Structure formats: structure tokens, C-alpha cells
């Protein structure tokens, strides 16, 4: 082949190589439904896939054939890379989860339910995870195979929040039934139902001392200790609670934005 002909073919070869690579979207589509920070790295997901924020730009990591809805992460350790757990699926068809490295390498994918996965969490110090389902089930998953154990907890509505305690010993789950289920993370014993909320529970957070905060659709935030004992309630915080978290000896919260009311953030003094 002469040089001129070779140069003519090179662009075509380049196009063929590009065509063989999947084209990932470079921006979120629809609302961002899951975020997680691992060290200084920030990851998020929407129906477009899973992305990492790098230097002000979104870098695509994963574009599954199903819709991602929930995201959890765990930092790298001596014996393993940092990992992400993605949950989602297809409404009324499948609930799916995927385990991948923070570089985007998929380790395992599995269909675990017949409807969407709304919430996921990774245990901080054990090879297990948890997934909250649209049908109210709480699935306890082994890692890295993502197999569900026969033990399940059950809500009477979609499960929208799941969280392990900082030491990994306890697990809390919350649902649209207004209940919080609290129990051993290994699901060896039945969970205790906390029924203080009178509206769907929307978010959960653990403090390092074992206190559990929960936010609800009615704008209230409640605080329990590790045994499930009720400690305090805060009301009239400006709308549905979207997020709660502990920092600097305070409980922080953020409300859901509406067409007429912007999202509001605030801090609460702990007892």
C-alpha cells in the first residue's frame, strides 16, 4: 500500500475504532437521584448513568441498560480498591444492582428484585451490602457476588433509605410506611420497628456515638439512640426533609425544593 493510500485509510480506520466504542452521555439526564463522596472524589447518578465530578467536569463511569437510582461507596483499603454500589432497574420489571470500582470497572451485576431498587448501602467493615426495594423488601447482599440472603426485612411501602452504623454493627432502613427498622447488620435477629414518625420517612444518618437521625415527608426530624429509644423531635423545618447528617456536634438537614419554595438548609443543636 502506498503512503497516499495509507493516509487516506487512516481516518476511516479511526472512525471504525470510534464506532466500536460505546458513546457515553456527558451530562446527567433528569434529576440526580444518588450522590456519594469517597475521600475528595464525588460521584453521582441519574437515568443517564454514573458520573464522577473531576475539575468541574462530569466524567462518565457507567451506562447500564437499566436506570440507576441509588448510589453508595466505600473507600479503598489495603486489600481492595474503592468500590461503588449502584441500584436501580426498570419500573415494575426488574430491580438491579452493580458493583464497580471507582475507576468504572464493573465487578458484578445482578437482578435481585422484580421492581426498582430505591436505596443501597455498603457495610463499612464486612463483605456485605443492603438494598431497599420498591416492594418494601430489604435485601441483605453478600459481596462481591451480590447474592441475596434468605433473611429479609419487610416494610409495607417502598424502602427509600438504608444506612449502616459507623462500626457496621447495626442497620437502619426507612420507608414510605413511616417506619424505621433497626437491627443487627447481619440480619441474624428480627429487626425492631420504630413507629414514632407519622409520615413517610425519607432519609437516615448515623452519628459516630450511635445516634440515629431520620427525616420525614412532613418536615420533621427525629433522633433515636442505638437501642431505638426516642430522644428528640424537631418540627416545622420548612418542607419535606431530603437529607440529614451529623457534623461539628450538630445535626444538619436540607429540605426538598418545590416550584414555589427553594431548598432550605439548617443546623440543629443536639441534646
Average pLDDT of the chain, as a whole number: 89
Give residue 8's pLDDT.
Answer: 37
SS3 content of the chain, % helix, strand, coil (to 5): 5, 50, 40
Give residue 78's pLDDT.
Answer: 55
Give residue 150's pLDDT.
Answer: 87
Give residue 85's pLDDT.
Answer: 98
Q: Is the pLDDT score of 187 beyond 90?
A: no
CA dihedral 187, 191, 194, 198 (to 10 degrees): 80
Average pLDDT of 133-138? 97
Give residue 23's pLDDT.
Answer: 54
Residue 104 in grid coordinates: 468504572
Give residue 1's pLDDT.
Answer: 43
Give residue 79's pLDDT.
Answer: 55
Give residue 152's pLDDT.
Answer: 83
Give residue 82's pLDDT.
Answer: 87
pLDDT tens digits along 13-67: 333 333 344 555 678 988 999 999 998 899 999 999 999 998 889 999 999 999 9
Give residue 16's pLDDT.
Answer: 34
- Residue scoring higher pLDDT (1 or 125): 125
The C-alpha atoms of residue 60 and residue 217 are separated, in whole angstroms, by 32
Q: Report the candidate in 52, 45, 49, 57 with the shortest Cα–Cα distance to residue 23.
A: 49
Q: Which of 17-31, 125-139, 234-248 has the lowest mean pLDDT?
A: 17-31
Q: Is the pLDDT score of 120 beyond 70?
A: yes
Residue 250 in grid coordinates: 450538630
User: Measured on CA atoms in the order 185, 176, 36, 138, is the torsion positive or negative?
Assistant: positive
| Full-model pTM | 0.87
Amino acid at each position: 500500500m502506498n503512503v497516499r493510500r495509507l493516509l487516506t485509510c487512516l481516518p476511516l480506520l479511526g472512525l471504525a475504532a470510534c464506532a466500536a466504542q460505546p458513546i457515553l452521555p456527558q451530562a446527567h439526564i433528569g434529576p440526580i437521584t444518588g450522590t456519594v463522596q469517597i475521600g475528595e472524589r464525588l460521584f453521582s447518578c441519574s437515568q443517564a448513568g454514573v458520573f464522577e465530578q473531576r475539575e468541574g467536569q462530569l466524567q462518565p463511569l457507567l451506562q447500564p441498560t437499566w436506570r440507576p437510582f441509588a448510589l453508595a461507596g466505600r473507600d479503598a483499603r489495603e486489600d481492595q480498591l474503592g468500590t461503588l454500589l449502584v441500584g436501580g432497574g426498570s419500573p415494575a420489571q426488574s430491580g438491579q444492582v452493580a458493583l464497580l470500582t471507582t475507576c468504572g470497572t464493573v465487578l458484578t451485576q445482578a437482578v435481585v428484585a422484580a421492581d426498582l431498587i430505591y436505596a443501597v448501602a455498603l457495610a463499612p467493615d464486612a463483605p456485605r451490602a443492603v438494598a431497599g426495594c420498591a416492594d418494601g423488601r430489604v435485601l441483605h447482599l453478600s459481596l462481591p457476588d451480590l447474592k441475596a440472603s434468605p433473611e429479609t426485612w419487610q416494610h409495607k411501602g417502598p424502602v427509600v433509605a438504608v444506612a449502616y452504623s459507623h462500626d457496621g454493627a447495626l442497620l437502619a432502613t426507612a420507608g414510605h410506611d413511616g417506619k424505621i427498622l433497626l437491627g443487627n447488620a447481619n440480619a441474624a435477629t428480627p429487626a425492631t420497628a420504630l413507629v414514632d414518625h407519622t409520615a413517610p420517612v425519607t432519609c437516615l444518618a448515623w452519628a459516630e456515638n450511635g445516634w440515629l437521625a431520620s427525616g420525614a415527608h412532613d418536615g420533621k426530624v427525629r433522633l433515636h439512640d442505638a437501642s431505638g429509644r426516642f430522644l428528640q423531635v424537631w418540627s416545622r423545618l420548612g418542607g419535606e426533609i431530603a437529607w440529614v447528617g451529623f457534623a461539628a456536634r450538630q445535626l444538619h438537614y436540607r429540605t426538598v425544593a418545590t416550584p414555589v419554595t427553594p431548598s432550605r438548609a439548617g443546623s440543629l443543636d443536639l441534646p
